[in-house]
Amino acid sequence: QRYCQKVLGGQLASVHSAARNQELLSLGRTYTRHSLWIGAVTRCRGWQWGSQWEDSSPWNYANWAPAQPCRLFNTCTTLSTLDGLWRSKVCFELHPFICQY
């Protein structure tokens, strides 16, 4: 997220529809076979777990893989270029990413 903001002047991508998820999946597959960071984070606030977008846009769509998101510790989210599903990952893992502007 910091790289998107500070270097590229954007935000990690937020996803608000199946069509947008498919668009990002297709874009990602053009460049890599690895999972891509998107701008969703899952964290505990006030004893309640929830997911939100880094760009503060409304949470109105999700495409989690089964048993996701992880609710044991704060996580960031990847979009799989294999199946288009989202998975929780520890935030310090290295993955390609998609910025939006």
- Full strand arrangement of the beta sheet holding 86-89: 48-53, 36-45, 75-79, 86-89
The model's pTM is 0.91
pLDDT at residue number 93:
93
The pLDDT tens digits of the residues spanning 28-87 come to 999 999 999 999 999 998 888 999 999 999 999 999 999 999 988 999 999 999 999 999
| pLDDT of amino acid 3 | 84
Domain of 50 in residue numbering reads as 1-100
Q: How far is CA 63 from the centre of its chain?
A: 10
Per-residue buried b or exposed e for 7-25, using 16+ beta carbons within 10 Å of the residue's own CB: eeebbbbbbeeeeebeebb
DSSP state of 65: P
DSSP one-letter code for 30: H
CATH of the domain at 68: 3.10.100.10
pLDDT of residue 6: 81
Count of domains for the chain: 1
Residue 9 has pLDDT above 90, yes or no: no
pLDDT band at 20 (very low <50, low <70, confident <90, very high): very high
